[in-house]
Structure formats: structure tokens, C-alpha cells
Structure 1
Amino acid sequence: MATRLTLDLDTLRTLTVANDLGSLALAAEQLGRTPSAVSLQMKRLQEELGAPVFRKRGRGLALTEEGVVALAYARRMLSLNDELLDTMQGANIDGHIRIGCTQDFAAVLPSALSHFALLYPRMQVELRIEGNAALADAVEASQIDLAVAIGHETRAAAETIGQLEIVWIAASTFALPQNHPLPLAALGPQCAFRRCAIEHLETATTPYRIAASSPSLDGLWAALLAGLGITARTGLRLPEGLVSAASLFGLPALGALPVTVHRNPQSTGIAVDRMKILLTEAVQAALASQTKTAKKHKQSSRVA
């Protein structure tokens, strides 16, 4: 029986970095290697796979169809490799990690935290559930290591990991008041959703007033369920009794806001690296689920 070829994980990691940066030269710089060494790695990989993985696109690179397949397998193989190392080494790592999360994504934390606890059983986790601006500020002030937030993509510590559709939300029994400004229920003035709603209403010259405000999401839900007004927010995990739509009551569509993960540059180590990956994966899974649900809702609306 012929011995099968074993691909080099280091070469596969170079492939992923080169794809993410769009350049072999940039990949070489990030990996601390010479451009010729990186080029040789990619040449050997293509010979081993029997197919080209990159093609030129302008001054940069783009994956071929075979390259797309190779990259998907490379990411899976590297993920397993990294998780194995984390599992074996993490059992002896102690210390604490401070993370923050916006209220909208708090429901994704259990899966990420339980996975992290399996990898790093001796680590202590400090958790904050706060507003987006407060979380971004806390990372910049070195009060927490990582944070998942909505908006604030221009902050130095921010990395955009997805887009979140914004919808109008109201009680199922809510009715627009006739000949009166639109009653808005919202969180504080720093809330990205509040600012987005006001900006779109003013652009559409729609009269409005702040009918209810609350510092907490539970308070906002209570105001909506009481019929005090309408709000703009994500449609993730709405309480029973609330309805949502991109243009509810004919109001202007609000578009989307970026979902960001913020990391304190002084927070280093494999435990922080792994927590960032777990949080990113959990959030992206929630976003994918929301997109799938929204598509089903639109299709059912067309059928109706």
C-alpha cells in the first residue's frame, strides 16, 4: 500500500494568511519570512495538490476554485491543530480573563464560555454585560480584555466580524397615533440603534418624540410591550408579544450596523486568542441564523 502524502500545517497556515491579506509579500512580512520562502511554500503546496490555488488579480492574489476548496480544508485542519494544543497546554494555564458583551448577544455566551472552560479549566472569567459604548471605552481603558459590541467600528481596537440588520420593533397590538409624532422607545443617547433610528426619521422628515427611555434592554422591552412606542434594534431573540420588520408601518428601512470585537492590545496570550475565536464564531453563527430566519420570513410573506 502506497504511503499517502502528509500536508505541512505550516504551509497551510501560510495559505490562510496569504489569502486573508491578499498578497504573498504581505504574508511574508506578517509571518517573518522572506517573500521567496513564502512563494516556494505555495509552489510546493500546488505541486502536492496537483492544482493551482492562487491566480493573479491586479496587483494582488485571488483564490482559484481549487484554492477555495483547499482553504476551507486548511482552516479546518489548523483549527483542530490549534484546539489540540490548547487542550493539552490549557490545563496548566491559570489567571483571569475579562470579557464584555452587548446585551443583544448575551445569549451566545454560554456556548463560548463552556467551550473555553473545557480548554482552560483553571482560568477565572470576569464577565460584563453593558452598552456598546461602555464596552468599547472599557477596552480602551484596559478594564477588560475583549468585548463584543455593535457599531464603534472606527475604534482602534475594533475588528468587524459581521453585519447586523436593524429592524423596527413594536408590540403586536401597537397602532401608529394619527396626527401625532411617532413615539419612540429607546436606550440612552449613546445607543447606536437610537442614533440610527433618529437619523433615518429626520432624513425622511418623519416627526417623532422620545416617549420612553431606559438604561436596560429589559426596560425597553417592558415599554414596548406596554404600547408606549416603537423602537429600532436587532430582531434577535425578541420577547413574545413583539413584532419586527425592516419597514414596519411603512417606516424607512434602517440598513445594518457592523458587529465588532474589541481587543485590548496589552491583552496577550493563547487564552485570550482562543476566547476571541470562540466569541467570534458564536456571534457569526447567531448572525447566520438571523439571516436565514429573515429570508424565510420574507418568503412566507410573499406566499401570503
Structure 2
Amino acid sequence: MSANFDMDALRAMVVGVELGSFARAATQLGRSQSAISMQLKKLEEQARRPLFRRDGRGLVPTEAGEALLSYARQIIALNDEAAAAVGNSAGAATVRLGLPQDFFEDVMPEVLGLFSQQRPNSHLEVRAGRNYALEEEVQAGRLDVALAFFKAGSSTAGTHVATLPLVWLAAETMRRPGAAELPLVLFDHPCLFRQTALQTLDRQRLRWRLALTTPSLPGLWAALGAGHGVSVRSRHRLPDTVRDVGVEHDLPDLPPIEVRLLASGARTPAAGALLDIATDVVRRLIAEPAAAAG
């Protein structure tokens, strides 16, 4: 006889894994830690195999646990969407969108506005993500839709949106440091833009130094605007405080970068609506301007 997994237990499993702590899951769900432990034990009894193993002071999913976790996210999303459809706003469907900070000022608000109009009872969770993690998050079911940068020609994942040129950027007042090391303002490692900049300079045997590193795109723009160094990005929504200095500073040409739209294979109706909206928005705000720019 097939197991009928308990919905509350599945929710406890998902929340605990996503928070990285079942103690925090208990607090968020308004239950005691012992109640959460009982629910996890119940899931293992229903699955008839271990779903977790101890790792240090915490629990991590086994291979069977990872498989159940993927289904649990889909089951909970469908349950919450069904609850919302019959007027239970407390069970509003949750969909998750991931994208780089580069698209927070145009793509994100446009998607948010259109999605809230079409799905007013749904909960949209937006995550700023690093490119190296976004594809993995979609594949694992932790994100429903994501927009990500890829090295040109390196992936066939998702749908190709645009190929964007990369440029060397600095403040208007920034001057080439001559024979001195090129001061760089970059994201923390790992970062595709950082990797591209360093590999390009190393191939040309040009000297460089890290002048500033940050996980924040606004922080990067502020440092560049203050004349703290040079960075590499696309031309998408550049602030007025920076400009392309590649030719003026005699810096080497950079390879282009791809933007791709990723989506989870198992989608709820709300996630499908999010994908349709995101596809239209990225076409209008990224693909068409990139094609017009040649």
C-alpha cells in the first residue's frame, strides 16, 4: 500500500532544510522541537527508510531524503495554491524567483507588478542569487524560475535570452595608472564577471590588484563612481557615474556573456504563470534592446 505522507510533516521537512535548522523551523511553524522531531520520524516510518543523517550538530537529507524533499516542495506548493483557490488566503501559493542584482531595478519590479495582477493571492519570493548557484537552485526545486548569466556557449540550460558584450568600466575622472597595477573593483569570489576580468588580464600578462571586493552591486557602483578602480560588467542599466574606458585605457577585449532563463521541470500553475510573465519581460527589457544595439 502506498504511503500517504502527512502534509504538516512535509512542510516541517522543507522549512527545516531551507532554514538550515529544525529548531528555527519549529519557531517559524509555531511548534515545539519535539513535535518537529516526531513529524520527521513519522516521515521516515512512512518512507520505510532513513531520510536524514547527522552532520555535526545538525541533520542533512540522505539520497532518499533529497528525493522526497523535491516532491515535498511541489506537493506543498500545489496544496497552498488549492487552498488559495478556494479562498483560504493563509494558504497562498508560494513561487520563487531568482535573479542577479543587475536586474533588480527593471526586470524584478516589472515581473512583480504583472504577477501580482494575474495572481493576487499568490506569494512571490524573490532571491538575489549568484550565477554559480541559480542553476543548481532551479534543478533542486528551490527556485521555480531564475534569470542567470552564463559564459557564452557554456550551457544549453533553459532558454537563451540574449548575448551581451562586456566592457571595462570606471569613473569619468579615472585615469589609466600607466605601468602600475590596474586597480580592480569586483564582486567577491565566485563571480563570472570577476573570473572573466582576471583571466583576460592574465592572458595579456597585464598586472592587476584587487582594490575593492564586495557582494553588493550598489556597493560596486559606488566604489567605481568614487574613482576607486576599474570593473567589468555588461552595459545593462549603467549608472551615470561610470563609463566604458576599455579603449581609452588600452585594455584587452572581453568575451561576451549570455543571459538565460531557467525554469523548474515540475511547475505548479502559479509557477507556470510566473515563467510566462518572466519570459515576456526579459524579451522586452533585455533581448530586444540587446538585438537593437547589435
Q: Is the 8 A contact 1:184 1:209 kept in 2?
A: yes
- 1:15-164, aligned counterparts within 5 Å? 92=85, 94-106=92-104, 107-151=106-150, 158-164=158-164
Q: Is the 8 A contact 2:157 2:260 kept in 1?
A: no
The residue aligned with 2:235 is 235
The residue aligned with 1:7 is none
The residue aligned with 1:286 is 285
> How far apart in 2 are the matches of 1:247 and 1:114?
40
> How far apart in 1 are the matches of 2:175 and 2:146?
37
The residue aligned with 1:50 is none
Paired residues, number: 203
- Partner of 1:265, secondary structure, is coil
Judging changes above 3 Å, is the alpha-carbon distance between structure 1 residues 118 and 102 closer, same or farther for their aligned structure 2 residues? same
> How far apart in 2 are the matches of 1:142 and 1:258?
23
- Partner of 2:249, secondary structure, is helix
Q: Is the 8 A contact 1:168 1:248 kept in 2?
A: no
- Partner of 1:249, secondary structure, is coil
> How far apart in 1 are the matches of 2:280 and 2:246?
26
Q: Is the 8 A contact 1:225 1:242 kept in 2?
A: yes
> How far apart in 1 are the matches of 2:118 and 2:102?
26
- Partner of 1:250, secondary structure, is coil
Judging changes above 3 Å, is the alpha-carbon distance between structure 1 residues 291 and 157 closer, same or farther for their aligned structure 2 residues? closer
- Partner of 1:238, secondary structure, is coil
Q: Is the 8 A contact 1:99 1:147 kept in 2?
A: yes
The alpha carbon displacement at 1:290 in A equals 4.7
> How far apart in 1 are the matches of 2:128 and 2:141?
16
Q: CA RMSD in A?
A: 2.4
Judging changes above 3 Å, is the alpha-carbon distance between structure 1 residues 155 and 270 closer, same or farther for their aligned structure 2 residues? farther
> How far apart in 2 are the matches of 1:291 and 1:177?
35
> How far apart in 1 are the matches of 2:290 and 2:171?
20
Deviates more, 1:269-278 or 1:207-216: 269-278
Q: Is the 8 A contact 2:93 2:270 kept in 1?
A: no
The alpha carbon displacement at 1:273 in A equals 2.1
Q: Is the 8 A contact 1:184 1:230 kept in 2?
A: yes
The alpha carbon displacement at 1:154 in A equals 5.3
- Partner of 1:163, secondary structure, is strand
The residue aligned with 1:195 is 195
The alpha carbon displacement at 1:255 in A equals 2.9
Judging changes above 3 Å, is the alpha-carbon distance between structure 1 residues 208 and 102 closer, same or farther for their aligned structure 2 residues? same
The residue aligned with 2:273 is 274
> How far apart in 2 are the matches of 1:189 and 1:248?
28
> How far apart in 1 are the matches of 2:231 and 2:102?
14
Q: Is the 8 A contact 1:104 1:234 kept in 2?
A: no
> How far apart in 2 are the matches of 1:156 and 1:227?
38
Q: Is the 8 A contact 1:160 1:259 kept in 2?
A: yes
Give the fraction of aligned pairs with identical amino acids, expressed as a percent: 31
The residue aligned with 2:177 is 177
The alpha carbon displacement at 1:234 in A equals 1.3
> Structure 1: where are the runs of 5+ without partners?
1-90, 296-304
The alpha carbon displacement at 1:259 in A equals 0.5
